[in-house]
Amino acid sequence: MIDYESICRKTISVAVEAGHLIKNERAKFRKDAVEKKGLHDFVSYVDRASEELIVKELKGLIPEAGFIAEEGTVAAENKHYRWVIDPLDGTTNFIHGISPFAVSIALMEGEEVVVGVVYEVSLDECFYAWKGGNAYLNGTPIEVSTAPSIHDSLVATGFPYYDFSKTPEYLKFLEYLMRNTHGIRRLGSAATDLAYVAAGRFDAFYEYSLQSYDVAAGSLIVKQAGGHVCDFSGGNNYIFGKEIVACNTMLKEEFTGIVKSHLKEFTKK
C-alpha cells in the first residue's frame, strides 16, 4: 500500500509548479489563443501545457498508475491507481482575466479517492487532504462550517453552459435559495467551490454536468474537513455521476432533502 501523506505532499509540489506556469502565462495571454471544444467550452495552450507538466511529474510518483485527464494527454485505462486531473479548472475565468482558476489533482485507489489537491492560483492557496488525515489550507488544518440551517448558509453553485434541458427546475431551485439563504455565489471553478466548502467559506455547494476531474480532489478535501458529499439523490455516485452536493454535516439532512425535492427530474433513474 502506498503512503498517502507522502504522495499528497509530492502532489502538492506538482500542483504548485503547474499553478506557477499558469500564472506566468496569464500575464501575457491573448484571447486569440483560445480554442473551442464545444458550446461555451474553451481550451488553450495553457491548459495543455499545464496537463503535460502534471502528467510528466506524476508518472514518476506511481509509474503503474493510469490517468483521467481533461485534455486527454494520457488514456484513462483500467488501472488500480488512477490520477484524475483538471490542469486548469476555470478556463473561462482565466481567459477573461478574472479569478478563481485552479489546478485540481486527485488519486483514486480503485473507486476511492485517497489524495486530493486543489491549488487556487490567484491567491496562492493550496487545499489538500489524504485518506486517514485532516484537510489543510497552506499547512493549516481546515474544517467545514457550523451553519445549523439553510437559512444561515451561503450556497455556491455553477450554471450550465451546454446542457440546458433542466433549466426550469434549476431556476426554480435558485429562486428558493435566493429567498431562504444568505445568498448564492457562482465562482466558475467547481474545484475551488468544493475547497471553499471544506474551509468553511461556503456552507453548501451543488452543481450538475460536472466531470470527474472537476470534483474528485475537492470531494475528498470536503470529507476530510468533516463535511458531507453525495449525488443529487443522496447516493455516492458523485465522481462519475455528473452531479454533486457538498455541505457541512449539520446541513446534511436539510440540504440534501431540499435538493431532492426541487430537482426531482435530476434524480430520476
Residue matched to cell numbers 495543455: 48
Please say whether the beta carbons of 193 and 154 come within 8 A: no
Reported in sequence order, the residue ranges of the chain that DSSP labels E, i.e. its strands, are 35-38, 41-43, 66-69, 81-89, 102-109, 112-120, 125-130, 135-137, 140-142, 154-157, 183-185, 204-208, 227-230, 243-248
214 is in an annotated binding site: yes
DSSP 8-class letter at 239 = S
Tell me the residue length of the chain: 269
- Cell numbers linked to 34: 483560445
Please say whether the beta carbons of 17 and 51 come within 8 A: no
32 is in an annotated binding site: no
- Gap between the Cα atoms of 12 and 42, Å rounded: 26
Residue type, 186: R
- Gap between the Cα atoms of 15 and 93, Å rounded: 18
Q: What is the torsional sign of CA 262, 153, 103, 88?
A: positive
Cα angle, residue 232 at apex, residues 42 and 189 outer, rounded to 5°:
30
3 is in an annotated binding site: no
Binding-site residues, in ranges, read: 70, 86, 88-89, 214
Bind-site residues for Mg(2+): 70, 86, 88-89, 214
